[in-house]
Structure 1
Amino acid sequence: MSSSSPLFRHVSTCIVKPPPRPRTWCHLTVWDLSMFNVFYIQKGHLFSTHLLPRLTIADVVDRLKTSLSTALLHFYPLAGRLVTEEAVDEQGNVTGIYVSIDCDGQGAELTHVVADGITIADVLAPSSDVPSFVRSFFRLDRVINYDGHSQPLLAVQLTELADGFFVGCSFNHAVGDGTSYWQFFNAWAEIARSDGAAAGLSHPPVHDRWFIDGSGGPPIKLPFKRPDEFIDRSTQPPLYRERIFHLSAESIALLKARANLDVA
């Protein structure tokens, strides 16, 4: 890497909205509510520009924008925002709060950033910990899920490298878990490969797990009056290290074959 302190240049940020659909509210489960003090899920994919010889970065950004809009139609809550309402008794006293997702197509965020001097080899760093600059590949790094009131529930950042690019997603953990994240990402990739077409997905989401219009039961009331009674914004530095393990296609095939033999 040409510099020990890589420079990230912001190119553009836009809000990507899905095609309009009727407004609804998604009530959160007990497990969802327990995620408010946790950071956003952060995962992404690293691509080499050699694999896309006919596409410019501008083409990639346009493809991501168009396909993301279609993907959000299938995963509509990701385009919403968290909302909090007070629970009031007959005397007008606040007895708690309700937090749910307002699914009104507010949109997800798509940001384009250039990381000057950083290469794919710098990112992979097979002989050392994951470089600290990788955190800058994610738009909402160190943001907690409760911030989904003002921050998008899904923020995508395309970081342009010297010889490739990284697509990083910050995904609100109160809206979905890791399995939900990968289902969304795979669906988005399928739509992107079809030039953003709105055709049916091979593995569509189970909408009953995403949408509740109130008929499925009342929202869960939290026994608090103010966010500061249950929101903890820890300022301690992370106490863990991260490394990347590299497995070739041949190694994975051998592991799968051995696992199948053990099962048999």
Structure 2
Amino acid sequence: MASPAPPIHHLSTCTVKPSPLPPKHCHLTPWDLAMFSAHYIQKGLLFANLPPSLSTNQIIDHLKSSLSTALLHFYPLAGRFVTEEAYDENQKVTGIFWSIDCNGEGAEFIHAIADKITVSDVLSPSDDVPSFIRSFFPLDSAINHDGHTQPLLAVQLTELSDGIFIGCSFNHAIGDGTSYWNFFNTWAQIARTKGVAPLSRPPVHNSWFIVGYDTAPIKLPFSHPDDLLERFSPPPLREKIFHFSVQSIAQLKAKANQECSTNSISSFPALAALVWRSITRTRNVPADQKASCRLSDQNRARLSPPLSPDYFGNSIYAIIATTTVGDLLNHDLGWAAWLLNRTVADHNDCTIRGRLREWMARPMVYQLTGFDRFSVMMGSSPRFDVYGCDFEWGKAVAARSGSANKFDGKVTSYLGWEGPGSVDLEVCLVPESMSALESDEEFRSVVCPSLELEVLVRANNRYS
């Protein structure tokens, strides 16, 4: 079960600003506006055994300086949201407009210390994710609308007894996981190269017009934000990391394809099918109950013409495969993987534009309370270059997330430490379901022992 929280003390808080920029006002897309009731993205990296020649103050000064430079390129993150109201001839509010005032107000940077916590405490490879990790992230429980008064980006460096953790809270109405990891990698590149080298993936702003819409602000037909916002608190959850090696993923993919007599099922639908079946089995619900698996899929490459892969903003949809519990569990893994594979294939330019038209006709924001408790949500992606974030200290030991956007059935996917082909899944379930999942025969047959302790040994040798 989750560990008790050791003390974590905030030593300092400051604001990091970019160099002065010309005033800009950025309008938001439907993909951005729909995120206003969700939490900030909270993701971070654990670094072990940094160069002994570097003091913590040197690390912090360098991070602040490089962050200031990064904010010049990712300038929306240094701004704040603003709301404007629309009125009729009788001065009655007929709608609201949300946008970003890119005023350079800055991002928050926190220096904290947790000298009773070790790197191995964070890793806890055979245990649940420790509850103290949520304290490594600022703006806990904040929803994206809070970016009117709170920073759109907040960074916390937490000193551990033998390493550091860098946690970022990144407003999800500013960008999705693709945007988040592009920012994090770019920041690391600037720090690593002292800002001299050209950016390998400069962000692309203001390409919304490619989708066929101009840049005019979108009017939301509500008189007050309270009409569409909510603050979600999940029930008590267990969170655990499960590791899937390159070999286990390859074997799972081969099994799914063999059972369907095809070779078109890719790795992730096969893994998602395993998770969907295994979690559904833990819930002991009737065979005629509908059960869904939602996959967070980005739209950039699926549009025609495509958005740039470096488009900075949101461009994702949750795509949904639905069947009955009986069909899901009575058929084999390949059947479920094929269903998910077809769902992904059907997510194309026509489908995306259809969903945009529906949203424009009836604007809404996503509500976490509306998640179906019989379903599974696969978020994030093992394609994100998590371990490319090298601040000149070498590869991170592990990635972890805060408490944001978690609920029963939420599964977050990370690239495994081994590299492409390996996957780490962070699974969030109510306690009784997690206990059943740990004993599920089909699931256990694919999960591998965690590599993180071996990784830690390698990190220990880096500067010895």
Superposed pair shares fold, TM > 0.5: yes
Amino acid at match of 2:69: T
User: After superposition, what is the alpha-carbon deviation per residue over 1:209-254, rounded to whole angstroms, capped at 9, x for unaligned?
Assistant: 489xxx9432111111112111111234354623253869998369
Whole-angstrom CA distance in 1 between matches of 2:417 and 2:175: 31
1:140 Cα deviation from its structure 2 partner: 1.4
Whole-angstrom CA distance in 2 between matches of 1:16 and 1:65: 7
Whole-angstrom CA distance in 2 between matches of 1:121 and 1:142: 26
1:47 Cα deviation from its structure 2 partner: 0.7
Residue 237 of structure 1 is aligned with which of 235, 238, 244? 235
Aligned length: 249
Aligned partner of 1:262 in structure 2 is: none
Is 1:124–2:123 an aligned residue pair?
A: yes
Gaps of 5+ in 1: 257-264
Is the CA contact (8 Å cut-off) linking 1:86 and 1:94 kept in structure 2? yes
Aligned partner of 1:149 in structure 2 is: 148
Aligned partner of 1:204 in structure 2 is: 202
1:117 Cα deviation from its structure 2 partner: 0.5
C-alpha distance 210-23 of structure 1, shift in aligned 2 (>3 A):
farther
Within a 5 Å distance, the mapping from 1:142-221 to structure 2 comes to: 142-195=141-194, 197=195, 199-209=197-207, 216-221=214-219
Aligned partner of 2:22 in structure 1 is: 22
Is the CA contact (8 Å cut-off) linking 1:130 and 1:244 kept in structure 2? no
Is the CA contact (8 Å cut-off) linking 2:4 and 2:132 kept in structure 1? no
Is the CA contact (8 Å cut-off) linking 1:70 and 1:198 kept in structure 2? no
3-state SS of paired residue (2:8): strand
Whole-angstrom CA distance in 2 between matches of 1:247 and 1:115: 31
User: After superposition, what is the alpha-carbon deviation per residue over 1:128-147, rounded to whole angstroms, capped at 9, x for unaligned?
Assistant: 11101000000112211111
Whole-angstrom CA distance in 2 between matches of 1:20 and 1:92: 37
3-state SS of paired residue (1:252): coil
Residue 221 of structure 2 is aligned with which of 223, 232, 246? 223
Is 1:252–2:456 an aligned residue pair?
A: no
Aligned partner of 2:11 in structure 1 is: 11
Is the CA contact (8 Å cut-off) linking 2:40 and 2:172 kept in structure 1? yes
Whole-angstrom CA distance in 2 between matches of 1:159 and 1:252: 25
TM-score normalised per structure 1: 0.87
Amino acid at match of 1:45: L
Is 1:95–2:261 an aligned residue pair?
A: no
Whole-angstrom CA distance in 1 between matches of 2:118 and 2:244: 17
Amino acid at match of 1:174: A
Whole-angstrom CA distance in 1 between matches of 2:186 and 2:88: 44
Is the CA contact (8 Å cut-off) linking 1:26 and 1:210 kept in structure 2? no
Aligned partner of 1:42 in structure 2 is: 42
Aligned partner of 1:72 in structure 2 is: 71
Whole-angstrom CA distance in 2 between matches of 1:210 and 1:120: 42
Amino acid at match of 2:54: L
Larger Rg: 1 or 2?
Answer: 2
Q: Percent identity of the aligned residues?
A: 60
Is the CA contact (8 Å cut-off) linking 1:98 and 1:219 kept in structure 2? yes
1:53 Cα deviation from its structure 2 partner: 1.7
Amino acid at match of 2:104: G
User: After superposition, what is the alpha-carbon deviation per residue over 1:72-108, rounded to whole angstroms, capped at 9, x for unaligned?
Assistant: 0000000000111101123322101000111010100
C-alpha distance 251-36 of structure 1, shift in aligned 2 (>3 A):
closer
Aligned partner of 2:33 in structure 1 is: 33
Whole-angstrom CA distance in 2 between matches of 1:254 and 1:204: 23
Amino acid at match of 1:252: E
Whole-angstrom CA distance in 2 between matches of 1:254 and 1:22: 41
Is 1:63–2:229 an aligned residue pair?
A: no
Higher relative CO (CA 8 A, sep ≥ 6), structure 1 or 2? 1
User: After superposition, what is the alpha-carbon deviation per residue over 1:185-224, rounded to whole angstroms, capped at 9, x for unaligned?
Assistant: 01000000123x265312111122489xxx9432111111
3-state SS of paired residue (1:43): strand
TM-score normalised per structure 2: 0.51
Amino acid at match of 2:148: H
C-alpha distance 129-209 of structure 1, shift in aligned 2 (>3 A):
farther
User: After superposition, what is the alpha-carbon deviation per residue over 1:106-165, rounded to whole angstroms, capped at 9, x for unaligned?
Assistant: 100000000130000000000011101000000112211111011100000000000000
Greater shift after overlay, 242-251 or 125-134? 242-251
Whole-angstrom CA distance in 2 between matches of 1:103 and 1:60: 28
Gaps of 5+ in 2: 247-394, 396-415, 423-464
3-state SS of paired residue (1:19): coil
RMSD: 2.5
Whole-angstrom CA distance in 2 between matches of 1:240 and 1:77: 35
1:4 Cα deviation from its structure 2 partner: 4.1
3-state SS of paired residue (1:221): coil
Whole-angstrom CA distance in 1 between matches of 2:30 and 2:103: 23
Is the CA contact (8 Å cut-off) linking 1:187 and 1:201 kept in structure 2? yes
